[in-house]
Amino acid sequence: MADELLFNPRTYDPAHFDPETRRLLRATVDWFENRGKRRIIEDYRTRAWLGDFLAFAAEEKLFATFLTPAGEGAGDQRWDTARIAALNEILGFYGLDYWYAWQVTILGLGPVWQSGNDAARARAARLLAEGEVFAFGLSEKSHGADIYSTDMLLEPDGEGGFRATGSKYYIGNGNAAGLVSVFGRRTDVEGPDGYVFFAADSRHSSYHLVKNVVDSSKFVSEFRLEGYPVAAEDVLHTGRAAFDAALNTVNVGKFNLCTASIGICEHAMYEAVTHAANRVLYGRPVTAFPHVRRELADAYVRLVGMKLFSDRAVDYFRTAGPDDRRYLLFNPMTKMKVTTEGEKVIDLMWDVIAAKGFEKDNYFAQAAVEIRGLPKLEGTVHVNLALILKFLRNHLLEPADYPAVPTRLDAADDAFLFRQGPARGLGSVRFHDWRPAFDAYDRLRNVARFREQADALCEFVRTAAPDEAQSRDLDLLLAVGQLFALVVHAQLVLEQAALTGLDDDVLDELFAVLVRDFSAHAVELHGKDSATEEQQSWALGAVRRPVVDEARSARVWTRVEALSGAYEMRP
Ligand SMILES: Cc1cc2nc3c(=O)[nH]c(=O)nc-3n(C[C@H](O)[C@H](O)[C@H](O)COP(=O)(O)OP(=O)(O)OC[C@H]3O[C@@H](n4cnc5c(N)ncnc54)[C@H](O)[C@@H]3O)c2cc1C
């Protein structure tokens, strides 16, 4: 029987979506299954361009349907985060390279859909309908996360347009995009007022593709513009709005990384459990070892936690508006927490399957490589943790009233994502109380134990928070950020568990892991250079031992073991 918590192509039928969405998601799964494992892996190993997949997507109008906002399109076209998340998971499941071409298309569209330029939006909608992909030209070779320092220079041409000259680096789809959204600054205006986002065409003669920066089917380009003519109708944003468009686009785009990492972990898990359960050493399957069971069970419940958190975050993303910006916390959480959980899931499984994880005929070998990228792209773990910290005090200590947010699988268009407004004012965002989610599960002993740690963190913030000097020590702050991130993770996991009626055993087992994680991060904080004595003693006092229950663990193990043979990709 298929595990109802994990995506399984054999049984996948997304009946909770409208008929066209359901058909397109299933057709995508079928396209990959029909292509088969051998071909998919061969394309990955030979770094083949994704032309066949993009031709399928063009023919089915997959990207056009999923990525054209309702206001720009017709029929089933809308920007619906729930179904976008579902497609991320499928694409991650079959290969991150496919996901990447779609992901950077989303990023490339961000500045366009946020733009007041009607002609540019109509052009983007037409290109999508024609099956074109898009690109997001923000990063530069010398500047990394410091996008203020752009050297893409726009010189006024005297006719309301510009000539753009400069290079961009790490730009996905820069080899093929019908439209590249490029960030730069005017030569004649100083400071933030000089920023410009404009639409370029990768086939124009002044657009020079230099190379693929990486050795992969992903085309992560370096390109150079030499006096590229930017007409007034190519300008998407100017001044501070251009900067906000960059950040708000990343806000929309980085939400996709969590579900991509979930897809990677799911595919890898079927392979890993199937291999371990059938590998016989000293006359017994490897899964008879207690440490192997522990590792695979931890991987399973961590993966379930990733799914619960991400699914619940979708609801907040879709319910967001000018008066409800809670997504600004849950979004970087999906980015740094869910994707780093994904790394742990793969690590745990790789320790078990060892040599098998290197073999070229399996998906696992690419999962082990690709899972590493997601925490690093679109803002590193540091950058996202630093962002999360801005919400700590309000989230933990200053709850506000909000109407309850239901599960959001409805066929709505998430229009607010393209009018998020200024990216400032994060410290004033308020949150609903995190405690009721815990109260609803106080019968589960590890939830109760984790609650003690969460309460202790509130006490820390009230009584031993980093002082003025420590507030500049990001090394210390990031350790605090990890503790906070765990509380937020646990909260949304509990909310989603309640909404979906998750099995108590799985939830309690997951919280046993979270209790251990909190303890480990507390010990980490204890060892930080600048931790005060008060903080050190708080940290050790927050260490807890999870509640052991052999019968519960055995029941969870039965679920994990049942994954053996539950799915194998068509050869
Ligand atoms: C495969 C791939 C695909 C990509 N695709 C695209 C794309 O399509 N379009 C695009 O525009 N870009 C793309 N990028 C660029 C990517 O977004 C950058 O890698 C990312 O922004 C981080 O920049 P960096 O890696 O140069 O790190 P740097 O910015 O050089 O950071 C160095 C270190 O400083 C830390 N740091 C930097 N700023 C802060 C801060 N404010 N607070 C705390 N710590 C900080 C970082 O965490 C890191 O440890 C891609 C990169 C890769 C590798």
- The domain that holds 88 is classified in CATH as 1.10.540.10
pLDDT for the residue numbered 109? 98
pLDDT tens column, 145-171? 888 899 999 999 999 899 999 999 999
| Mean pLDDT, residues 7-25 | 98
> Is residue 382 in contact with ligand 1, taking CB distance under 6 Å?
yes
The protein residue whose alpha carbon is closest to atom 26 in ligand 1 is: 144
Q: What is the pLDDT of residue 455?
A: 98
C-alpha to C-alpha distance for 177 and 135, rounded to whole angstroms: 6
Count, residues in the chain: 571
* Whether pLDDT at 368 is above 80: yes
Return the structure tokens found at 220: 């992560």
Query: Is any atom of ligand 1 closer than 6 Å to the C-beta of 386?
Result: yes
State whether the beta carbon of 172 lies less than 6 angstroms from ligand 1: yes
Which residues does 49 contact at the CB level (< 8 Å), separation at least 6?
175, 176, 217, 219
Instruction: Answer whether residue 570 is part of any domain.
Output: no
Which CATH number is 146's domain given? 2.40.110.10
Residue labelled with tokens 């179904």: 83
Residue 378 CA to ligand 1 center (angstroms) comes to 6
* CB burial readout 410-441, b (16+ within 10 A) else e: eeebbebbbebeebeeeeebbbbbbeebbeeb
- pLDDT above 80: residue 364: yes
- Output the pLDDT for position 424: 82
Q: How far is the CA of 472 from the centre of ligand 1 (A)?
A: 21
How many domains are there within the chain?
A: 3
Residue having the nearest C-alpha atom to atom 32 of ligand 1: 144
Residue 408, pLDDT > 90, answer yes
The answer to whether residues 230 and 333 belong to one domain is no
Q: In degrees rounded to 5, what are phi and psi of residue 62?
A: -65, -55
- For atom 39 of ligand 1, the residue with the nearest CA is 383
Do 507 and 363 have their domain in common? Answer: yes
Atom number in ligand 1 closest to CA 474: 43
Question: Cα of 221 to ligand 1 centre, how many Å?
Answer: 15
Q: Identify any residues that bridge with 171 across adjacent strands, giving them in sequence order.
A: 221
Give domain status of residue 424, yes or no.
no
Q: How confident is the model at residue 1 (pLDDT cuts 50, 70, 90)?
A: low
Interatomic CA distance for residues 75 and 486, integer angstroms? 41
Mark which of 133, 149, 167 sits at the end of a domain: 133
User: 146 CA distance to ligand 1 centroid (A)?
Assistant: 9
368 alpha carbon to ligand 1 midpoint, in Å?
21
Both structure tokens of 34: 């029909």
Answer whether residue 423 shows pLDDT above 90: no
What pLDDT does residue 143 have? Answer: 92
The verdict on the CB of residue 67 being under 6 Å from ligand 1 is: no
Compute the distance from residue 208 Cα to the ligand 1 centre, in Å: 23
**Atom 27 of ligand 1, nearest CA residue:** 144
In single-letter form, the type of residue at position 249 comes to: T
* Boundary-marking domain end, from 133, 149, 172: 133
Do 531 and 542 reside in the same domain of the chain?
A: yes
Verify that 229 and 356 share a domain, yes or no.
no
The 10s digit of each residue's pLDDT in 171-204 is: 999 999 999 999 999 999 999 999 999 999 999 9
Cα 366 from Cα 521, distance rounded (Å): 29
Same domain, 279 and 191: no
Same domain for 463 and 352: yes
Mean pLDDT of the chain: 97
CA of 355 to the centre of ligand 1 (A): 32
Write out the residue range of the structural domain in which residue 178 sits: 135-238
For residue 138, how far is its CA from the centre of ligand 1 (angstroms)? 10
Answer yes or no: is 8 within a domain: no
Query: What pLDDT was estimated at residue 2?
Result: 76
Residue 387 lies in a domain: yes
Asked if residues 299 and 351 have their Cβ atoms less than 8 Å apart, the reply is: no
**Which residue has a Cα nearest atom 52 of ligand 1?**
170
If you average pLDDT over residues 478-496, what whole number do you get?
A: 98
202 and 111 in a common domain: no
Domain shared by 41 and 181, yes or no: no
Domain end call among 238, 267, 299: 238
Q: Same domain, yes or no, for 303 and 346?
A: yes
Give the pLDDT band (50/70/90) at residue 92: very high
> 451 lies in a domain?
yes
Ligand 1 centre distance from Cα of residue 389 (Å): 19
**377 Cα–ligand 1 center, Å:** 6
| Residue 472 domain-assigned (yes or no) | yes
Residue nearest to atom 48 of ligand 1 (CA): 380
Please indicate, yes or no, whether residues 275 and 231 belong to a single structural domain of this protein: no
3-state DSSP assignment of residue 424: coil
Where does the pLDDT of residue 250 fall: very low under 50, low under 70, confident under 90, or very high at 90 and above?
Answer: very high
Residues 291 and 343 reside in one and the same domain? yes
pLDDT tens-digit readout, 218-234: 999 999 999 999 999 99
Percent of the chain with pLDDT over 70: 100
Q: Is the CB of 378 under 6 A from ligand 1?
A: yes
* CA 217/CA 410 separation, integer angstroms: 34
Here the CATH number for the domain that contains residue 282 is 1.20.140.10
The finding on whether 138 has its CB within 6 A of some atom of ligand 1 is yes
Same domain, 482 and 501: yes
Atom number of ligand 1 nearest to Cα 183: 11
The model's pLDDT over 276-317, given as tens digits with 9 standing for 90+, comes to 999 999 999 999 999 999 999 999 999 999 999 999 999 999
Whether residue 406 is contained in a domain is answered as no
For a ligand 1 pocket test, name from 147, 376, 380 the mutation site with the most ligand atoms within 8 angstroms of its C-beta: 380
Measure 147 CA to ligand 1 centroid, in angstroms: 10
81 — pLDDT class (breaks 50, 70, 90): very high
387 lines ligand 1 (CB under 6 A): no
Residue 134 pLDDT > 90, yes or no? yes
With a cut of 70, say whether residue 502 has pLDDT above it. yes
Ligand 1 atom nearest to CA at 380: 47
- Pairing relation of β-strands 280-281 and 284-285? antiparallel
CA angle 307, 454, 502 (to 5 degrees): 30
Burial 334-354 (b: 16+ CB within 10 A, else e): bbbbbbbbbbbbbebbbebbe
Say yes or no: CB of residue 225 within 6 Å of ligand 1: no
Q: Is residue 569 part of a domain?
A: no
